[in-house]
Amino acid sequence: MKKITVLLSAMLMLSCSTALAGNSDDATAVGIIPFGYSDDNSRWISGKLSDFIIDNLDSSEDFAPISENNLNDAFEDIGFDPDQFQYGVPPEMIIEAGAEMGADLIVFGFVVPGGGDQYQVLWNIVVVSSGNTISPPPSMVQKNTDPVKELAETIVSEINNQVGARADESLNMARYHSANSSWNSAITSYLQVLDVDPEHTEAMNELAAIYLKSDVDSVARAEIMFNLVLGIDPLNSSALSGLGNVALKGENYEAAKDYFNQAIEADPDNTAAYSGLAGAYTALGMTDEAIASFESALAANPDNLQARYALGLLYVELGNYSEAIPHVEAILAVRPDYTNLRLKLASAYAEIRNYGSAADNAIIVLELTPDDTDLALFVAQYEARAGRTSSAVDRLNSIIASSGSRQAYLMLATVYRDSGQRGAMQGVFNRLHSAYPGDPVANYMVGAFYYQSGSSRARVSELVSSNIATWESAISELNSAISFLNQVTGYRASQAQNMVAAARNAISLCEEKIDRVNRYSQ
């Protein structure tokens, strides 16, 4: 597994991720610290459990257990006596020793009496590169070989699941924030992904793309992040394209062209790279030359898909979607398997507000990848905007039934809101709350929905009587937001409370505006 610690320090302790599954050449190196114990029975369980865990790791292609000798040597090198494992190890020493022994993950824990013949096993996973500790729910076990062996099997099978689930949850939240242009919150969530999965190239590329946004403007961090991706995957087309965009930001247009051409070579279906290439031409003031060059190439060879591809995307770059669409459709007539390009076509149709055609093209791709929940959400969004409300509602309910997607609940609520069905919208929120009772993510998402809607209404400033209903509606929605956000726990609690404070300020402003209008109208 590749080590990226040096580059991470350059990112202000930003951590990047571990590919947790792979073949024996790319297996995750795991160190097992003997579990702490308090009596003879728990010591027996600790010894057996460590042995069984190592046996299970050794038989898995995903993992490479670190030998006991290497583990002991690493702790001795940092001044900790391995004979003291019984009493536990300071977390900072675990991270230091983990780096010393070349571990990706360290597993440690404690065995304590749980009453009767039961013993409680508390176990933890440390991601060495980030210092992040994951603590799964404790388990109960008897002092007996078979139950201890079963527990060891469960722990090993859960290592990837625990790390992956934590990363997936943070990734979904990052994408939710990104979709709402909440860049600071999105960055925080992406960093949480990388805290637990330091080679998550998808998250790294998406985070770097946010760094490139003009209202975030962290180009240097984006460049470091894209280079980290290439350190893991040298032919990652998205990262190459990203470096092309970094070069564009730095007005190094020739370098940008080189990166985009490399990205296209790595993935001929990378529409972003073609778009960037068109952008580089445009930035060089070579728009006419680029169009003329692509047109000339097409005149000489109408089957030159790359030239037609670049030309269509050049028009997209120029915002001339009507000119772009025929070229893109011509490419898809020959290469219907270019699914990314078809999605680009759907987006172009959406740009000219032809949401029906946008939905039709996105549906073609969705039929090829029916389990793609994110794409299904896009289709539902296009359908709603095209006035196909029933289709959008049916699709979103289907997504909810199959995956329980929180995002689908929120989009369904939006469809009902935009179609004037406020009662149905509230019903969706009730369903979401029932599906995820007490769930901080659900409470956060519903609260954020009400907060954004209420804040938008609260910003109406003209002091006229006709706006009183709008401000009253804003107050109602902001109070609903506060109710949900006050139930948020965990690492989102601070962000939720920031919104609560802002909602209360907005309510006060609305009340003041209502009062002023009422007084002036008397």
Contact 112, 38 (CB under 8 A): yes
Query: Cα separation of 5 and 3, whole Å?
Result: 6
Query: Cα separation of 478 and 480, whole Å?
Result: 5
Structure tokens at 498: 């920031």
The domain 23-166: what is its CATH number? 3.40.50.10070
Condensed to tens digits (0 to 9), the pLDDT of residues 111-147 reads: 999 888 899 999 888 888 767 787 888 999 999 999 9
- Beta strand pairing call for 105-115 and 139-142: unpaired
Query: Cα separation of 107 and 33, whole Å?
Result: 6
Query: Cα separation of 411 and 259, whole Å?
Result: 37
- Helix, strand, coil tally for the chain in percent (to 5): 70, 5, 25
What mean pLDDT is predicted for residues 278-307? 75
Neighbours of 78 (CB within 10 A): 13
Q: Could you tell me the pLDDT band of residue 1, with boundaries at 50, 70 and 90? A: very low
Query: Cα separation of 225 and 231, whole Å?
Result: 10
In this structure, which CATH number among 1.10.3470, 1.25.40, 1.10.238, 1.10.8 belongs to the domain 353-423?
1.25.40
Residue 59, phi then psi, degrees to nearest 5: -90, 0
Distance of CA 261 to the CA centre of its chain: 27
Structure tokens at 254: 């020739």
Give me the pLDDT at residue 85, please. Answer: 87
Q: CB-based burial of residue 141 (10 Å sphere; 0-12 exposed, 13-18 middle, 19+ buried)?
A: buried
Contact 267, 38 (CB under 8 A): no
- Beta strand pairing call for 105-115 and 118-127: antiparallel
Query: Cα separation of 340 and 323, whole Å?
Result: 19
Q: Please identify which residue in the block is written with the tokens 């919150």.
A: 185
Q: How is the chain split into domains, by residue range?
A: 23-166, 353-423, 436-522
Check pLDDT > 90 for residue 241: yes
| 379 Cβ neighbours under 8 A, 6+ residues apart | 359, 362, 363, 366, 395
Q: Could you tell me the pLDDT band of residue 390, with boundaries at 50, 70 and 90? A: very high
Structure tokens at 156: 């090993």
More confident residue, 389 or 214: 389
Give me the pLDDT at residue 8, please. Answer: 30
Residue 70: half-sphere exposure toward Cβ, Cα within 13 Å? 15
Contacts 24+ apart (CB under 8 A), 326-335: 331/305, 334/303, 334/305, 335/305
Contact 203, 19 (CB under 8 A): no
Give me the pLDDT at residue 297, please. Answer: 65
pLDDT cut 90: percent of the chain above it: 40
pLDDT cut 70: percent of the chain above it: 92
- Full DSSP string of 411-476: HHHHHHHHTT-HHHHHHHHHHHHHHSTT-HHHHHHHHHHHHHHHHHHHT-----GGGHHHHHHHHH
Give me the pLDDT at residue 269, please. Answer: 64
Phi-psi bin for 144: left (phi > 0), alpha (psi -120 to 50), beta?
beta
Q: CB-based burial of residue 301 (10 Å sphere; 0-12 exposed, 13-18 middle, 19+ buried)?
A: exposed
Q: Please identify which residue in the block is written with the tokens 């000339």.
A: 296
Give me the pLDDT at residue 227, please. Answer: 95
Give me the pLDDT at residue 331, please. Answer: 87
Give me the pLDDT at residue 25, please. Answer: 52
What mean pLDDT is predicted for residues 332-338? 87
* DSSP character at residue 96: H
3-state secondary structure (DSSP) of residue 117: coil
What mean pLDDT is predicted for residues 84-99? 86
Q: Are domains 23-166 and 353-423 of this chain identical in fold?
A: no
Neighbours of 87 (CB within 10 A): 10
Check pLDDT > 80 for residue 275: no
Structure tokens at 146: 């078979």
Give me the pLDDT at residue 268, please. Answer: 66
Q: Could you tell me the pLDDT band of residue 325, with boundaries at 50, 70 and 90? A: very high
Q: Could you tell me the pLDDT band of residue 220, with boundaries at 50, 70 and 90? A: very high
Residue of 334, 330, 333, 296 lying closest to 313 (CA atoms): 330
